[in-house]
Amino acid sequence: MGNDFYKLSASEKAFKFVNYLLILALCLSIILPFLNILALAFNAGKDAERGGIYFWPRVWSLENFGKAFEAANIATAFGISVFRTVVGTVASVFLTAMAAYALKSKTLPGGKFFMMFIFFTMLFGGGIIPYYMLLQSIHLTNNIWVYVIPSLYSAWNLIIFRTFFQQIHVSLEESARIDGYNDFSIFLRIILPLSRPVLAVIGLFTAVGHWNDWFTGAFYIRKADLRPLSTLLQEMLTSAEAMRDTLSQAAGVRYDLLDKITVTGNSLKMATIILVVAPIILIYPFVQRFFAKGVMIGSMKE
């Protein structure tokens, strides 16, 4: 704030003070729950059942993560997640950006109709059963490409790309055409280099969606070796909680079984959350600087 803060009127100081309090409260509401998840993930599961753990582990342990990595095909699942995230993100961002560049042209025949048709798909869907039947008819169920092809185009991302491209001055394209560039060359050599902020933002959101998606692997894939990490960890978590409930019901008969439980369903859940979000947290700092520009998309016009 500096010395400028003291030059403000009493009402302006009060307004800033309230704003800072709200921002601080918002930050704490995000950071504190995550610290609690970290503490429970690195704490022994049986000890965590006693409660009283908030932001620091009481009994340090890596058993929760060891249990998560016990699955025989976890390496394959990790590879599937990396494949779908990298290939799906690159293909989706590039093809959606290319479609948006075409649709932003005012001379495109039927451009308004296509935009209305695309917007319509954001409001209405066919439902899960027709969608499954469609995937089955084109042989995408039990196929690794079910993670990539159906999500190549996003109507929302297309609209964001189109809005950003419309802010790029048309004189750049006209100059390139005078130099002999065609539309594809202009898109690759001029439009994309100028669109790094929106590419970073859409790319990160798309990658997060691919990495965290467990639904596709659970409902459209039956082969165990084609399931991504999120689906595998979700199944492990469900199995662990079911086993815990079964043993708890039999506690009156077999106390010795309960004594052997060192990883509880809740502790495994926290370790699962860390495993899923850690890669995204590691990538985010490299694209964070683009967000200041990316959030301003569509806010200014020539």
State the distance between the two ends of the chain, measured CA to CA, in whole angstroms.
32
pLDDT at 78: 85
Length of the chain counted residue by residue: 302
User: What pLDDT sits at residue 167?
Assistant: 86
What's residue 100's pLDDT?
A: 92
- pLDDT tens per residue across span 196-221: 888 888 988 899 899 988 899 888 99
User: Which residues of the chain have a pLDDT value below 70?
Assistant: 1-6, 71-72, 240-265, 287-302
Give 31's Cβ-side CA count (13 Å radius): 6
DSSP 189: I
Contact in structure between 213 and 132 (CB atoms under 8 Å): no
CATH of domain 74-223: 1.10.3720.10
Where are the domains positioned within the chain?
2-70+228-290, 74-223
Q: What integer pLDDT is reported at residue 58 of this predicted model?
A: 84
Q: Hey, what are 211's tokens?
A: 């990495």
**pLDDT at site 138:** 92
pLDDT at 95: 94
pLDDT digits over 10-57, tens only?
Answer: 787 788 889 889 999 999 998 888 888 888 888 887 777 777 788 888
DSSP characters for 151-209? GS--HHHHHHHHHHHHTS-HHHHHHHHHTT--HHHHIIIIIHHHTHHHHHHHHHHHHHH
